[in-house]
Structure 1
């Protein structure tokens, strides 16, 4: 559990760090300039981090093992298995993003351009090229994380399907328990994970359908806002959700807060 939370926190920090500083610079200083190299780098790592996060949520859905086979939990989900899944998830993101970034970066761009977004989103950048962006759009349609046209994603779609199957097995196991207390405790075990997935996938789905409707129906600033929420809400919410849910983290946080308040009161007196 702690290995999964550690990796999730690391991915969330990376994801937020890729977009938030530039957003703050745009809103506070009016500095909306970004170089081509920095823009393509942001495209690569933003979408790669998104792919890693959806894969990590899939890996965390294996809490089914803890519920249905608690005696085998430590034998099945060893640290080596967790590390192996993390490596596979990362490699999957790299394998997908490398060709996509290469295709976008090799499109012909002439002079300065204005990206109609708060960060370098793939399709928003590809549309600025003086060439047909269809190859990269088609590649992104087949397997990408965020696609502005049709928005069908094998990467996310397969992950969501496996997550739904895992939680279906969890519900079957939970309602097969005889004791009500055991049912409530077991549901609470995966409740945090369900909330995190809802915060991650629902804003993404909203941005998908809004983009599909087009700017003639939904204003462009609404589309940009929904996509920004999709990248910002999960990294800021996950620590709170899992921190409140995990007893050890909650107790440690409360201990630090009370210690700080105690030291502050002593300084004041």
Structure 2
């Protein structure tokens, strides 16, 4: 049909309805309980992790500074999504303005791309620590770490800012139901009465050339790490080197696996994957990795374990 037949709506006047998890509306109240619990644990755990790293001088090493960046990104990602999800599930607060929806969309994609860059930086940190241990402190100085952090944020902003223009340029004609719990780029674009081919191409390009390249470089880093580790004659030294990477590998798998499942399911799996499964995983994705990351690093990293024990011991002594 000719687009001139549509009665276009000014985006500034539009309000959307986020439906939550389609097909599981009767379970929203119960699903919200674990999501709320995980969100609280994620925020408290990551704030505590940042507090430990900032206040404990022995943790002012590159690996822990990158970990504090990851913890901050986890707090922001879960906070950008979980409160609205809980408001939908518990209070049926489903309405959201177009501007608020676009803002949420931007922050979700921005934090995701930034977190991917931080994980790449952490992989580089492990590569230098294991492959070039004698040059570790000279390569990853405080200045270099700061520049990596700024570069991660700048790259993410430059990649994700065009999403705002891509959804604002589209023409809308009254469709306002988003079958999701939060706003995503393609979720908004699909409500337009317009050609969204540019949105699809740009979204795929961003996924493949930013986070996709990050994954390639991370795999390359760990391939080189494994080559170095298996040249070490001592089995105990091999185990120690691999153990330092174990927590990071767990975090990488938790971050990328559900994210790419959600990304490709949203674009290519709509007919094969039940929609409620896709949305449920997308909801869990924004709280489960942020909740587990500080736990994984706390369990697998002896320095953090020691600082946690000392911290709580001092509190019990004071009491």
Match 2:147 to one of 84, 96, 100: 84
Partner of 1:60: 122
In the TM superposition, 1:112-151 aligns within 5 A as 113-143=176-206, 145=207
- The 8 Å contact of residues 200 and 233 in structure 1, kept in 2 or not, is answered as no
Q: Whole-Å Cα distance in 2 between the matches of residues 142 and 215 of structure 1?
A: 20
- Aligned residue runs from structure 1 range 67-216, under 5 A: 67-111=130-174, 113-143=176-206, 145=207, 153-216=208-271
Structure 2, unmatched stretches of 5+, are 1-62
Counterpart residue number, 1:22: 84
**Quick check: 2:113–2:156 contact (8 Å CA) kept in 1?**
yes
Per-residue CA deviation, residues 223-261 of structure 1 (Å, 9 max, x unaligned), is: 111222333222111111112223232123234445566
Matched, 1:252 2:315: no
TM-score, length-normalised on structure 1?
0.89
Q: Which has the higher contact order (CA 8 A, sep 6+)?
A: 2
Q: Gaps spanning 5+ residues in structure 1: where?
A: 146-152
The alignment covers a number of residue pairs equal to: 256
Report the more deviating stretch, 209-218 or 254-263.
254-263
Matched, 1:32 2:87: no
Q: Judging changes above 3 Å, is the alpha-carbon distance between structure 1 residues 215 and 112 closer, same or farther for their aligned structure 2 residues?
A: closer
Let me know the Cα RMSD of the aligned residues. 1.8
SS of residue in 1 equivalent to 2:93: coil
**Local SS of the residue matching 1:34:** strand
Provide the secondary structure at the position in 2 that maps to 1:132. coil
Displacement, 1:100?
A: 1.8
**Aligned in 2, Cα 1:139/1:215: closer, same or farther, shift over 3 Å?**
closer
| Aligned equivalent of 1:217 | 272
1:213 to 1:123, Cα distance in 2 relative to 1, 3 A: closer
